[in-house]
Every structure is written in C-alpha cells, then in structure tokens.
Amino acid sequence: MPSALVTGGAGFIGSHLVDRLVEEGWNVTVLDNFSTGRFENIANAFKTGRLRIIIGDAKTVDLLSEEGNVEYVFHFAANPDVRETSPSIHFQENVVATFNMLEYARKAGVRMFVFASSSTVYGDASKIPTPEEYGPLKPISLYGAAKLAAEGLVSSYCYTFGMSGVSLRLANVVGPRLTHGVVHDFINKLLQNPGRLEILGDGSQRKSYIWVGDCVEAVLHVSRLVEASGYEVYNIGSDDWVTVSEIADMVIESMGLSSVEKVFTGGVENGRGWIGDVKLMNLDISRIKATGWRPRHTSREAVKLSIEERLRELGLKS
C-alpha cells in the first residue's frame, strides 16, 4: 500500500481523508500544528497503528530527515477562513506553507501532490456553473488569491520537476467535525438567542455544498486518475446550490424552533456577507463526472445532513 503525508490531517476534511486512507491500508503520516485541528478527529485512525502524527508547522517544518519515503502528499493545511482579511496570514499560511511542502515533495521525490484549493479562485465568475477553463481568474478575497498563487506553484513544480499534481477547487464542504461556516454560525447564534437569527448579507447569496464523504471519494478518485498525467485542475462540488436564507430556514426547522426573526445585515456591495464573499458560486463538475465520479448527495441534502450531525455533536439530537 502507498504511503501518504496528510498536512492538516487533524482538521475537518483532512481527518476524514485520513480515516479513509487508513481504512484502505495506506501508511499515513499527519502533519498538523493543531491550530484548528483536534486529536480526537484522528484518535480512531491512530489506534490502528498505521498512523504517525507529527506536530509541526507546514510553513517551517523540515521533514526530509524523518519522512523520506512518502509517495503522496495531500496538502490540506491552511488558514481556511475566507473572511480573514490579514494579507500576511493568507500569504504565510496558504502560500508559504504550500511552497515549503512543495520543496519537501521535490527533495523527497514525492510522486503525487494533491492540493486543496477552492472555488474562491474564480472570484465573481460571469459564467455559472463555472468550468475549470474559466478565466481570467480574478479572486476577490485574499484567501482566494492565496489559493490561486499556491495553485500556480503546484503547477510549476509539476512541470519543472517531473512530479504529478492536482489542484482541487472545492465547493463548500460540510459534514461531521466541521468547525466553521454558515451551518456552524447559525446553530451557534440560535443557541445563544433562539428568537433571533442574524444573517450576514441579504440572504440571497447562493452557493454549492458538498458532503465531506463525497469530497473524500473525489479526492482519492482524482489523485489516482492524475497520477500518470502531470498536472490537472478539477472542480469538486455538487450540481445544485442553496441560498443562505434557505439554509437559515433549514437550521431553524431542524432545531425545532418557531417564530425566529431573521435579521439580514444587508452586508456590503449588493448584499455580500462580507468583503470578499462570492455571492453566487456553482461549479461545473462535468470534468470529474466524465471520469466516473459523482456526488451521492445534493447541496441541499449535504446541508441538511450537516445540520443534523452538528446538532448530534452538541448532544441536541440523538
């Protein structure tokens, strides 16, 4: 079985990927600084004895002496907060960290570099659903800009140093262990005040969501496909999309609440939730579907499942 390094492997998506790799018998090493990651996310995988954990920072760690035989790097460590407006945080956590991991991959002779990019690289796309060939890419958030810069590095390392790689432009991923995002925010706010829900923006922001299990399937599927073909880019999402206001209604219903006043902040620039919030996002997933993968859940189902799961995690549902 191949060996893999999963950066950010103690985080939300990374830990689900780790579970899946360990289940398939891979030898897995997690590199995580536990800034948002949690040991409990990978505790079960750790018990199998096929998982090593390195507590370290992707920006600075020198893995060469300890991790010489890695075949696949799944680079998921990042600052995933799109709302963060510190240029330096995005540059350090999302560009420098990717550069350092690519340097490791180059020197260690890694076969395949899988990069968790994001739909935010498209910015306000004029074509929706947005295909991978869409351009020019004009991200409107620092997060999206950093992801795009990192994609450029991955592409150039593949061509220059003969490794294979893929940038995965993920839609909004939801599911168990999620610690951020709209579902999380709404549930937290309603727990604090069950009579009032503040919604950033005008509520008409419409986006695509993907269930984390579907996302992990796609990550593995694409990694195997691209292995022999240099560098590729794939959108990973589902076909439909949901508005923020609809998500608010779904959360309110699942929490069994009635008479909740939905208060829209109005946001910025025609109802965006915050500066840099892409109002309309739906990815064209024809490319990955043509290779045989398809999501098992729609956006709406994924959001609904994620709400139920979060309420279970909080002990509010059985």
Query: Which residue, chain included where needed, has tokens 């969501």?
Result: 209
Answer for the pair 304, 311: CB distance below 8 angstroms, yes or no. no
Member of 26, 72, 76, 104 binding ligand NAD (CB under 6 A): 76
Q: Under the criterion CB under 6 A, does residue 170 sit at the interface with ligand NAD?
A: yes
Q: Is 143 a catalytic residue?
A: yes
Token pair, residue 10, equals: 């103690």
Percent of the chain as helix, strand, coil, to the nearest 5: 40, 20, 40
What mask of x and - would describe binding to ligand NAD in positions 56 to 75, judged by CB under 6 A? -xxx----------------
Q: Under the criterion CB under 6 A, does residue 116 sit at the interface with ligand NAD?
A: yes
Using the CB atoms, write b or e for 292-316: b if 16+ within 10 Å. Answer: ebebebbbbbbbbbbbebbbeeeee
Q: Under the criterion CB under 6 A, does residue 123 sit at the interface with ligand NAD?
A: no
Nearer to ligand NAD, 104 or 260 (CB): 104
| Number of residues counted as binding ligand NAD (CB under 6 A) | 29
Member of 4, 5, 6, 8 binding ligand NAD (CB under 6 A): 8
CA angle 83, 85, 87 (to 5 degrees): 135
What is the C-alpha separation between 281 and 27, in angstroms, rounded? 36
Q: Under the criterion CB under 6 A, does residue 86 sit at the interface with ligand NAD?
A: no
Q: Under the criterion CB under 6 A, does residue 32 sit at the interface with ligand NAD?
A: yes
* Catalytic residue (choose from 143, 157, 209, 234): 143
What is the C-alpha separation between 226 and 113, in angstroms, rounded? 10
Answer for the pair 121, 151: CB distance below 8 angstroms, yes or no. yes
Smallest distance from the beta carbon of 254 to ligand NAD, in angstroms?
20
Nearer to ligand NAD, 33 or 282 (CB): 33
Chain residues that interact with ligand NAD, rule: CB under 6 A: 7-8, 10-14, 31-37, 57-59, 76-78, 80, 93, 97, 116, 118, 170, 172-173, 179
